[in-house]
Amino acid sequence: MKSFAITYNEKIESSVSVMLELKKVLADNAIFADSFDIDNLKSGYDFVFVIGGDGTILKAARFYAKTATPIFGINLGRLGYLSQSSKENIKVSVEKILKGEYRIETRIMLQSCDKIALNDFVVKGTTTGRTSRFSLKINGKLVCDYLADGIIVTTPTGSTAYGLSAGGPVISPKLNAFVIVPICPHTLTARPIVIPDNEIITICSDKDLTNYVVSTDGQEFYEFAKEIEIKKSEYPAYLALLDGVEFYSILRNKLHWGTSPAQIV
């Protein structure tokens, strides 16, 4: 590796101190790293450490996907599902990375116009407190109409986020698939759909509603009037994962998958 960088979220308590600690650990190994806030991302690096919560990692993943730069998350948030290290394990994590005891895993992303998302696109009506009508098309063919609070289109990476909360399935990140999840549908026959990632999703708005709102990973918001097309992005995200850490252990340890509530401490 030729160059390292550290990006951190100044809005999260202790992020600056953790950044300084990480810089010291790297310096002790004769490595100088640039550092900058998540709102001032820079390219031109071979490896980027990301300090913050999952939202910080999502923003960094979208930015560095276009340069195929691997990112490594250090969690300061609540869940840290996308992170590989805590602030207490920085030294051990850095040592493993410098020894090459990690792998780069590519994750498929979604795209709509010039927007990309690692987790999901969420479509909702602008009328707060009311359900909206949506028409769903796949590859230009009508699938169904929904009367619901919204629709989530999620990647396997995002299947453990909003999609899971809305009743969608957990999808292994190794699968090339997307999940379409209606949010609080006003019918018992509306269920999540899993489709191949090479299919094109179109969501059409109700003629009686002026605009719908789309969110990208819950961070960027914009409106559309008639329809939105969502497909696989040409850019995958590049996540650096430590050896020995795999998808199912993360489910157990961070989401307490299959664990009785009485066993959760």
Query: Catalytic amino acids?
Result: 54
CA distances 213 to 35, 169, 191, 203, 225, Å, are: 34, 24, 22, 12, 9
Nearest-5° angle of CA 47, CA 232, CA 166? Answer: 95
Please report how many Cα atoms fall inside a 13 Å half-sphere around the Cα of residue 159, on the Cβ side. 24
Going by C-alpha positions, the residue among 60, 94, 47, 54 that lies closest to residue 76 is 54
**Cα torsion angle, 49, 55, 61, 66, sign:** negative
Q: Which of 125, 115, 120 is nearest to 166 (CA)?
A: 120
